[in-house]
Structure 1
Amino acid sequence: MGEIAHIVRVIFSALAGRQSPYASVLAEVARAVLENRLAMPKTLLGVYATAEVLTGAQRQRIQQAFGCKVFNQYGSREIPNIACECSHGRMHVFTDMVFLESRKIDDEDRLLLTSLTNRLMPMIRYDIGDSGRLLDGECGCGLPFPLMEMDMCRQNDLIRTRSGKTVHPSYFNRLLYGQTQVRQYQWVQRELDQLELNLVAPPLDSETLASLEAGIRREVDARIALKVHYVDDIPRTVSGKHRFVIGLGAAQPRHP
């Protein structure tokens, strides 16, 4: 336990002092804190999660572990600082660093970014591949920066059916909400009539599996088959991100 505590403290110190960690990395650190009942500094006012979708389950776990609020920060490798969540839970655009636009492209509200700080490589109206909208009005937090909201979804994260229906990845994240025995998961669609669920977890009981299958038949397609694979680890992308949902058209992981 002493070694684990040391590792967690070193990781947390490095992340907190230098950068905002990926949401999935922060969630894993939080899991280690809770499982080993480690005490975190009482001086923590908040932690930031960036680069990935921050799910409701992750947010709850992180806040429980660190005893403070977690704030979602929106950025990318190309343009690191785009927007951040305030104390009221709303996203504010860093207008001193980026010029953000929302345009209809293929019936989707696509975000176009122009960096105001990159002096080496101009990024002008860059289509980052994310969806979202600019919002009117002011926030009760008092910050002067304009508001935005995100869909937190890319086209290759959508699950599609043979009938033409598309299902947002957030639905699949909700299906596993509360399953604390699941350390990692990833939904993969390789064919229209089949979904795969890769799990780093002990085998799920028959009742839980039946509930997952019923949810998919009800909200996705009654004809889609579900295959569950239990694996030791789920590889991250080359940029270090964990993808919760991989739809058709995306780079497919290897079969377990």
Structure 2
Amino acid sequence: LGGEVYINYGLNEVGGGIGSECKIHKGYHVFPSVHVEIVNPKTREPVDIEEYGELVVTTLNREAMPLIRYRTGDMTRLIDGDCDCGLKLPRIDYLKGRADDKVVIGAAEKYYPINFDLLFDPMPEIKDYWIEISTRNEKDALLVHVLADKPSKKLEQKIIEKFYTMDSIKIDIETTKTLNVPEVVFIDKLPKGGKRRRLVDKRKFLK
């Protein structure tokens, strides 16, 4: 019908909405009835503005069952600066996954989908990806499925080099010897089906 579509974000536990898009469509403006914080899901300490973490909410107008610093499990970030629409309400970015989607890779290091989103977001040539985790030669193995505009050996090497910028990954490959060098496979299209996970752990299916 030609009407403009706006996305809202909310939780049943909160009793409804937490925020909504404006006409600029750059994240959600947080409603005045809710106070939000972003924390590190591991340490539960607040993170810097613009840094991704787990969304924590406190309801400000619920009397019967208020929520105080409720961990939502959703990964996002606070957006710095005023919105071009003119609203002064704080903004959070679109969700980047769930905090409980964590996996242990290599020498007992925990990783979340957001760790790898931040790795690949600065690479516009990558349209989408997911990582399959398995075991090979008694080490963890990462097979990175990549949907790219122009697959190439150069892009494959660039992706592998990106992993080496993560200190914990580099240490597990070179020092603890608990992780194989990541491998990359280019795909033509995304698989059909329901909600797809960024990190697919196949190790639990292996004997």
The interval holding the TM-score normalised by the smaller chain is 0.5 to 0.7
Q: 2:196 matched to which residue of 1?
A: 242
Whether 1:147 aligns to 2:94 is no
Q: 2:9 matched to which residue of 1?
A: 74
Offset, 1:225:
2.0
Q: 1:186 matched to which residue of 2?
A: 130
Task: Summarize deviations over 1:217-251 as a string: whole Å, max 9, x none.
Answer: 23353325223455875365xxx4333x2277xx9
Per the alignment, do residues 233 and 139 of structure 1 end up closer, same or farther by CA in structure 2, a change over 3 Å counting?
Answer: closer
Q: 1:94 matched to which residue of 2?
A: 31
Offset, 1:107:
2.9
One of 111, 124, 128 as aligned partner of 2:56: 111
Task: Measure the CA separation in 2 of the matches of 1:85 and 1:252.
Answer: 39
Per the alignment, do residues 123 and 199 of structure 1 end up closer, same or farther by CA in structure 2, a change over 3 Å counting?
Answer: farther
Whether 1:128 aligns to 2:72 is yes
How many residues of Structure 1 are paired with residues of Structure 2 in the alignment? Answer: 175
Task: Summarize deviations over 1:3-41 as a string: whole Å, max 9, x none.
Answer: xxxxxxxxxx7xxxxxxxxxxxxxxxxxxxxxxxxxxxx
Per the alignment, do residues 190 and 233 of structure 1 end up closer, same or farther by CA in structure 2, a change over 3 Å counting?
Answer: same
Task: Measure the CA separation in 2 of the matches of 1:208 and 1:197.
Answer: 12
TM-score (norm: length of structure 1): 0.46
Query: Which structure carries more strand by proportion?
Result: 2
Contact 1:102 1:132 in 2 (8 A): no
Task: Measure the CA separation in 2 of the matches of 1:129 and 1:101.
Answer: 13
Contact 1:158 1:169 in 2 (8 A): no
Bigger relative contact order (CA 8 A; separation at least 6): 2
Task: Measure the CA separation in 2 of the matches of 1:232 and 1:89.
Answer: 27
Contact 1:108 1:131 in 2 (8 A): no
Query: Which structure carries more helix by proportion?
Result: 1
Q: CA RMSD in A?
A: 4.8
Q: 2:177 matched to which residue of 1?
A: none
Specify the code of the residue in structure 2 equivalent to 1:234.
Answer: P
Q: 2:107 matched to which residue of 1?
A: 162
Task: Measure the CA separation in 1 of the matches of 2:28 and 2:11.
Answer: 15
Whether 1:225 aligns to 2:181 is yes
